[in-house]
Amino acid sequence: MENASLFAKHMSSIDYPIQSGRKNRIRMNASIEKKIATRSAVISRVKRDLIQRLSLSYTEEDLHEDASLIGSGLGLDSLDALEIILGIEQEFKVKIEEGNISVLRSINTIVDYILDNQTITSAPTQTVEGGAR
Amino acid sequence: MTFLSALHDFSTSRNAVLTSRDGFTAVSRYRSLEDEYRTIRETVGLTDFSHFQKFCFRGEEALYFLDEILPANIANIRYGRVIHTFLADDDGHVLSDVYVANQDDTIWMVCESCVETAVIEQRLATANTKQITYECLTDSYAAFSIDGPQAWAVAREMFGPDVLGMPYLSVELHDENGDGIVLLRTGKTSEFGYLMLVPVTQCRNVYDRLLTLTEKHSGGACGIDVFDILKLDGRFFNINQEGRIVRDPLTLGLQWMIDFQKDAYHGKTAIDARRETGLKRKIIGLKSLEQGTPMARDTRIVSGEETVAEVITAGFSQALDTQMALALFDIRYAYSGLDFIARTATGNVKVQTVSLPPFIPRSLTIKLDEM
Amino acid sequence: MKGPRGVFITGIGIVSPIGNSISAFLTALKSSNSGIRPIEGFDTAVFRSHVHAPVQIETLKEPSDPGDTETWDRHLQFGYFALRDALRDASIERNSLQDRTGLICATCSGPMLTIEAEYLQTPIVPGAGMRTDSVYREYRRYYLMERTLVRVFGISGFSTTVVTACAASSNAIGLGADLIAEGILDHVFVVGSDAFAPSTFAGFDFLKATCITECAPFSEPAGMNLGEGAGAWVLENGDAAKRRGARIRGQILGYGLSNDAYHATAPDPQGEGAILAMTRAMHDARIDPASIGYINAHGTGTMPNDRTESKAITRVFIDRLPPPVSSSKSFFGHALGAAGILEASASLLMMNDGLLPPTLRFTTARDGCGLDYVPNIPRATDATVFLSNNFAFAGNNSALVIATNHSEVSPAAHPVPDDTVITGFSSLTPADANDPSDPRSFVFDGNRVIQMDRRLPLKEMDLSSQLATLVSKRAVQHAELSLKPSDARQIGLILGLCDGPNRGEAAHLRSIAVSGLSAPNLVMFPYIVLNSVAGQCSRALGLKGFSSTLCGAPGAGLHALIYAALAIRRGHALICLACGVDERQESYSYVDESSHEDAGIEDRPVSDGAACLVLESAASAAARKAKILGRWLGWRCVNLSSDRSALNIARELEGFLSELNQSDRSTAALVIDADYGVEAKRIEGAAKRISDRIGARMISGAEFGSARTLSSGVLRNISIALSIPDGSGKMVLTAYLSSAGQLGLVALLID
């Protein structure tokens, strides 16, 4: 049956080999290597922070960087979200303004935000409104 | 015997283009894929997914039975909740994208599969050593989905304002009009989505009501093919594309669907072994940085002279206004934000890995409890 | 409310950020003067908010007050002064309180300043917290205020402490009213109190719940301000009030409780819990929504609360214009455990003078807030009945219906209460869960507990919540009740505990101790409140019925049982669970407080444990043909201040027995238990006299293993007694004596 052979072909693609087949690996381009090093360091810190703060029973490798964090995927709730934000702000010295709905969608979006904003030093909030201080 | 939706004749009378695979025939599209994409990303689309496999169980033993088959923790599913997981074979290869819904002790299992219904039914039957009673309701229940930033408005008109309180991944039974609709708040496009299981005897009149409401909110009927691109740029697992090709849930990034502490589920041994070894390849999203030949299945992605990935699935994303793809990357290069070259059939195209989903869906800006 | 001539409020005492007397309080309310001030005392640079509503009590002390009040924890000082002033307002001589006078306390954080000082080795604000060298740990328990006030004022009737966070004092008022309406007590003092604690402020601020400036409920900007203070009411039976010509301040018509069963901190966005509380309150008062002239909102100022509350009010008053609504938190912030009583006081005192209290700083209405919020200035009114709402963390909701002093509403006639029966029970001890070879017989093996029911989300819970959820589910199953959502939402839960789960408090305060106020533990912060145990249980099982948590002197399980039975008699619930939970606290050791009197008494270690009984109205049980395990006969609970001898206890027991009027019945068992070693000896002595005479088998707490429990053991022993073979038609008497001298007695009939 047609479908069976299609199925069989798909079954064999699990160890989908890289087609270059070359034995000797080419050395990675230096600028890509640097970008990867920077990014993977932040990814690792974010994952460790998440796992520890939220007592997740996953390892760093289990967490795909694009997996959804809130709602679907890991299914964290609003309280977890606040805890994550607190952790990111403290750990990476960035400020996430309220109402920013897109930062926490995945580990990748968190890392993107950190890498984009980390150079901005965040001063502690000192509101001087209405005679409050 | 090919599965046909109860609305098959009705759909063909409305000039649907059909598609057949995995033992079923369904509406591929009514209009162009671009039109249908815009409908679902901007208003609301109504789609017939009746080819999904549906099973109905009752009682506590059923939960334990499913718990030993599926990788998620099914045993402690709460009343009114839906769990999104997958079904694997004994070699740890995905067969279906699965929802399990607990509607007051009636347990529904709804499967979108890359294999024929018989394969799924066979797997359940073989596992049923304790003779649990259950029903295969694929033929007697239709499945309709409404998806889009206005899907909630259609749901509200169909089911009343309380439906806005349904959390994501929850289930309710609506029998107010005697039509026994099982309503799940789900969605695999990153827009609002509701899936309705409707007894076939009622499905025509329910579909008519849904269609009227959908069109009233400036939406329209859609086919199933547009969901390939919607899942691609909405970053939802697509059993029909990467699921069918890659098969390994770990490489596919489905670890969140698995409770690794469980003692048993189909495919556990193989999956645990792969987890132990570690991933060598990983699925990462790509977008084109320039015009050119679109990427396609098997297009090589290179960094300098080295091949670093192969494209699994690709398509044009209107939200991004460029080509997008999922590629299976060598783990060393599997990171977002890097520049590569895609070697397409007719020439090189600059591409970049992206965090997914790569845009903010309209639905994310709407807060249902303020509606 | 039904009963001898209604429940009247005859005295009010106020300790608040806008004044420490009724006149100061009223003046501030009428002149729209808010008590929200900049925080002094610690550095608020790391926080988004820098204001709160503080209380000044330096001038409150008088020569006749106890000499050492300055050494007391701040919340206790507030409560003391408030009660002192309330008694004065009611013209009741504190040195000659009558019998049948009880005390219901309410708090959210209790002695948190003292607890903070303990974790940090020093108070955060110099001078705060209880200064004492005592090794007895009573000073850090949530029933500290109750025990102190019982002792200082000589209160002899029933006392307990409601710990349902922000709903506590509203609930406490309702419970006090129930006790009077039911004819059990003639006077009940209700005292709600909380002191501002920096660690609590840090938690709310990092949850982004606080307002960056003075709060503007239902308006802009969103967010709450934390306050502090205490309120005390004297509730009085109508006959008693009339006899002594008491001045009436108002009348309690009814109240309602519910649980959201939704989330630890966020309210159910559909407002179902709030709707249930308001609807039940009006039903209890037998009053139509049309009769409500004003609603005092919980109105914290946060977006989730204000929006949900407005939506809930709209749905309760469907088909009509809702009455005016305002938030008194705009005046004195969120006083947590004192919020309910202070806000109801503000409403009552203003409406007695023909005015509605306004919502201050109201400019434009926030999205989703479309009601009449009485902006900024008090408004003249001729309304005489109001509704007062309070909604808490962990999902507890409370609503009161109160009439002014010039109202012509008379207390509603309730139907004759049905019998209360017991239709199910379950209990758990470590022996049930642990490995039989495990030498520790008093602590649960956490991993094994999780395995005990794979259908329940136990992995995410602390031990107390796991135990409460397990026994509640098993008891419900034993009673053959369904837990489907439509059934579970009617089931109530009253939970009694002595010490709450340690996990939340320890995680939050240790984090602050190590890293400072800028490091609250947000995931754990919601689990500091004692009602989080019942909250997690309710959420897991979908229980939205009549819901409360009591922190008693040890023996809290008995308090829970008493309140559950009372709730059914008063028609608040058809089915109500009474649950007791114990979690052994490692952070402090148990000391026999009376060991100095009686050397050589060996104290048993305290054990983990949980027990639950299902109480049901007889009609409900009959309608579903339930198996009846026992019938409620009666109860008595007194504080023995001076004479705690075995002889006096025996006298109380005899008095109770004769009151029951069951002399033709034999007693199958006499269940006894006590707090510490000396009390156990006393109650054993008393019980022995009785049991010899009536031929009952004695079951003592000591019988069950080498460990004792504080809240759950007594309930477990009752369930054992109800299962005695050949016990049908015989009575089970339960007697519990706490180290503070509270004697609780309950009589049941084995079916």
DSSP C231-289: EEEEEEEHHHHHHTTPPP-EEEEEEEEEE--S-SSSPPTT-HHHHHHHHHHHHHTT--G
Rounded to an integer, what distance in angstroms lies between the CA atom of residue B178 and that of residue C289? 33
A37 CB near a chain B CB, below 8 Å? no
Domain final position from C370, C404, C438: C404
Chain C residues with CB inside 8 Å of A98's CB? 208
Shared domain for B166 and B101, answered yes or no, is no
Going by C-beta distance under 8 Å and a sequence separation of 6 or more, which residues neighbour residue C145?
A: C75, C76, C79, C105, C107, C110, C161, C191, C193
Residue C734 DSSP SS3: strand
Going by C-beta distance under 8 Å and a sequence separation of 6 or more, which residues neighbour residue C578?
A: C494, C496, C557, C560, C561, C563, C564, C565, C612, C613, C615, C715
Q: Are the Cβ atoms of B76 and C456 closer than 8 angstroms? A: yes
What's the domain count of chain C?
2
The chain A residue lying nearest B358, using CA atoms, is: A109
pLDDT value of position C300: 98
A25 CB near a chain B CB, below 8 Å? yes
C571-586 in b/e burial notation, b at 16+ Cβ within 10 A?
bbbbbbbbbbbbbbbe
Domain final position from B209, B237, B265: B237
Q: Which of A77, A83, A125 sits opposite C48 (nearest CB)?
A: A125
Shared domain for B207 and B344, answered yes or no, is no
Does any domain span residue C597?
no
Q: Which CATH number fits domain A29-117: 3.40.50.1820, 3.40.50.300, 1.10.1200.10, 3.20.20.60?
A: 1.10.1200.10
Q: Is the pLDDT of residue C718 over 80?
A: yes
Q: Is C52 in the active site?
A: no
- Give the closest residue to C597 by CA, choosing from C739, C396, C395: C739
Joined tokens for residue C580: 């007791």
Per-run averaged pLDDT (10 residues), chain B, 371 residues: 93 94 96 97 98 95 95 93 97 98 94 96 95 95 98 96 91 91 95 97 96 97 97 95 96 96 96 96 95 91 94 95 96 96 93 90 83 70
Mean pLDDT of C616-642: 94
Does any domain span residue C414?
no
Give the helix, strand, coil percentages of chain B, each rounded to 5: 30, 35, 35
Chain B residues with CB inside 8 Å of A32's CB? 303, 333, 338-339
Q: Is C406 in the active site?
A: no
Pick the catalytic residue from C75, C187, C298, C559: C298
pLDDT value of position A11: 40
A58 CB near a chain B CB, below 8 Å? yes
Chain A residues with CB inside 8 Å of B310's CB? 16, 18-19
Residue C733 DSSP SS3: strand
Shared domain for C631 and C516, answered yes or no, is yes
Q: Are the Cβ atoms of B67 and C454 closer than 8 angstroms? A: yes
Shared domain for C506 and C612, answered yes or no, is yes
Chain A residues with CB inside 8 Å of C212's CB? 125, 127, 129, 132
Does any domain span residue B120?
yes
Q: Are the Cβ atoms of C484 and B105 closer than 8 angstroms? A: yes
Mean pLDDT of C621-640: 95
B286: domain CATH number is: 2.40.30.110
Rounded to an integer, what distance in angstroms lies between the CA atom of residue B191 and that of residue B368? 12
Q: Are the Cβ atoms of A16 and B355 closer than 8 angstroms? A: no
Domain that holds residue B205: 1-49+138-237
pLDDT value of position C603: 56
A65 CB near a chain C CB, below 8 Å? no
Classify the C-alpha dihedral B159-B164-B169-B172 as positive or negative. Answer: negative
Tell me: the pLDDT tens digits for C720-750? 889 988 888 889 999 888 878 899 999 999 9
Q: Are the Cβ atoms of B275 and A62 closer than 8 angstroms? A: yes
Stretch 175-214 of chain C: residues touching chain A, C-beta under 8 Å: 206-208, 212-214
Rounded to an integer, what distance in angstroms lies between the CA atom of residue C349 and that of residue C555? 37
Shared domain for B221 and B268, answered yes or no, is no
Does any domain span residue B317?
yes
Strand partners of residue B198: B142
Domain that holds residue C721: 420-586+605-750
Shared domain for B105 and B65, answered yes or no, is yes
Rounded to an integer, what distance in angstroms lies between the CA atom of residue B97 and that of residue C554? 52
B298 CB near a chain C CB, below 8 Å? no
Q: A–C: how many Cβ contacts below 8 A?
A: 47
Q: Is C166 in the active site?
A: yes
Q: Is the pLDDT of residue C700 over 80?
A: no
A95 CB near a chain C CB, below 8 Å? no
> Where do runs of H (alpha helix) occur along chain B?
8-13, 33-42, 60-67, 117-127, 151-159, 200-216, 226-234, 244-246, 268-277
Q: Is the pLDDT of residue C252 over 60?
A: yes
pLDDT value of position C87: 98
Query: What size, in residues, is chain A?
Result: 133
Burial label for C632, CB within 10 Å (0-12, 13-18, 19+), is: buried
Rounded to an integer, what distance in angstroms lies between the CA atom of residue B222 and that of residue B47? 5
> Where do runs of H (alpha helix) occur along C640-724?
646-660, 677-694, 713-722
Rounded to an integer, what distance in angstroms lies between the CA atom of residue A61 and that of residue A63? 5
The band of C414, judged by pLDDT with boundaries at 50, 70 and 90, is confident
Does any domain span residue B143?
yes
> Where do runs of H (alpha helix) occur along C417-497?
430-433, 446-451, 463-478, 485-488
Q: What is the ipTM of this complex?
A: 0.91
Joined tokens for residue C523: 């995931």
8 Å CB contact between C203 and C23: no
The chain B residue lying nearest C269, using CA atoms, is: B369
- What global pTM score does this model have? 0.91
Phi (first) and psi of residue C428, to 5 degrees: -135, 130
Q: Which of B248, B332, B355 sits opposite A108 (nearest CB)?
A: B355
Q: Is the pLDDT of residue A44 over 70?
A: yes
Going by C-beta distance under 8 Å and a sequence separation of 6 or more, which residues neighbour residue C48?
A: A125, A127, C205, C208, C210, C212
Rounded to an integer, what distance in angstroms lies between the CA atom of residue B221 and that of residue C108? 54
Domain ranges of chain A: 29-117
Chain C residues with CB inside 8 Å of A124's CB? 45-46
The chain B residue lying nearest C541, using CA atoms, is: B78
pLDDT value of position C553: 63
Rounded to an integer, what distance in angstroms lies between the CA atom of residue A47 and that of residue A42? 8
Shared domain for B160 and B42, answered yes or no, is yes
Chain B residues with CB inside 8 Å of C307's CB? 369-370
C740: domain CATH number is: 3.40.47.10
Domain final position from B208, B237, B266: B237
Q: Are strands B181-186 and B193-199 parallel, antiparallel or unpaired?
A: antiparallel
Burial label for B118, CB within 10 Å (0-12, 13-18, 19+), is: exposed
Tell me: the pLDDT tens digits for C507-523? 899 889 888 898 888 88
What's the domain count of chain B?
3
